[in-house]
Amino acid sequence: MDQAAREWRRAVAEIRRLTGTYVNRALDTSRLEDIASAVSADPATVDRTLQGTVDPPLTVAARLARRAGAALVAVPAGHEATPAVPGAAGPIEPAVGDVAALQATMRRLRSETGLSLPAYALACGLPLAHTAVETDPANATLGGVCAFAANLGFGLRIVAGSDVEEALAAARSATSPAPPAGPLDRDDADADVDWIRRAMEEAMDHTRLDAVALARRVHMPEAVSRDPTSCRLLGPFKTTASLAAGLGFRLTAVDRSERDPALIALGTSLSSPGAPPGLSQSGARYAARLQEKDVLEAVRRRRADGGRGIADLADACGASERSVQEVERGLMPIHVQRIARHAQALGLALVLRAA
């Protein structure tokens, strides 16, 4: 179990102790139902949360803490807080402010590293979904926030309501540690394609689709590699676009200045995944054709607007004129890496978006 998992389970165990819903491991059903009603969640979700069997939404954890007469806060590592004691149930309204304060602290500390949000996630080895603590805390999970905070030298704690101001003061006075030493984000076609791969792998984890199930979903058994546990996520446009559609995403091309906002939006989508769409064989083909049409139109429009000749573009891509012309005729058989380089030469970035 990693540190983030230990930390969110420790926070949940503390909430469980304070709520008194389990006595000698026996569930007090009436108390559980009362708590679930108070925090606007169904009893089964609250039960699983308090047992530590699911990583709960941040907002649910914050409301449960307030209902238990305590608060969920982010504090610098090493900060000592007095443990909360069981007492009267508290109102849940202050949980909104607790989440907002946590969001502001994480955003400030991350920005002090000098890294954009996607670059920070990459350098720390965090899934894009974990960036939701900054962009969409309603869809962030407690475990994701713990992982995000740990890289900034912070931890999440359950403190008595009377100690919240002290915890907030400690958070405000803390400064960000040195930027993480992980891989740095690059602003080039290779990085664009790597983000597409990473996001699709993350989406597969969320949907619990294995390679065979995903390939079957889009009627492309050839997408499964020789290793039956993995997919050829990066390949001809037809393959990558079809697999993306099977996960509820689509390939598109945006101006390079919009690349980071597109990655941030992608992280938000990954933090609140829906059920992957069911696609008929014709539906999968149509989804891939729509993506081809979208990317082709962006590429052709950008070249026309810039007055770029084929020879000039070929030189910028490091490719032959024939190769450049092939891209603009149709994308299906062309590898996404080559398309991404073509897009980069035009000042565009190939990205993944929610369908």
Phi then psi for residue 70, to 5 deg, are -125, -165
pLDDT digits (tens, 9 = 90+) for 197-225: 999 999 998 888 888 888 888 998 888 87
Contact criterion met (CB below 8 Å) for 54 and 48: yes
Reported confidence tier of residue 262, pLDDT bands at 50, 70, 90? very high
Is the pLDDT at 307 greater than 80, yes or no? no
Task: State how beta strands 154-160 and 70-76 pair.
Answer: antiparallel
pTM, 2 dp: 0.86
The structure tokens 């002290």 sit at 166
Across the chain, mean pLDDT equals: 88
* Contact of 323 with 338, CB cutoff 8 Å: yes
Q: Are 317 and 340 in contact (CB under 8 A)?
A: no
Residue type (1 letter), 85: V
Whole-angstrom Cα distance, residue 211 to residue 218?
Answer: 11
pLDDT of res. 266: 93
Confidence of residue 23 (pLDDT cuts 50, 70, 90): low
pLDDT digits (tens, 9 = 90+) for 104-137: 999 999 999 989 999 999 999 999 999 999 999 9
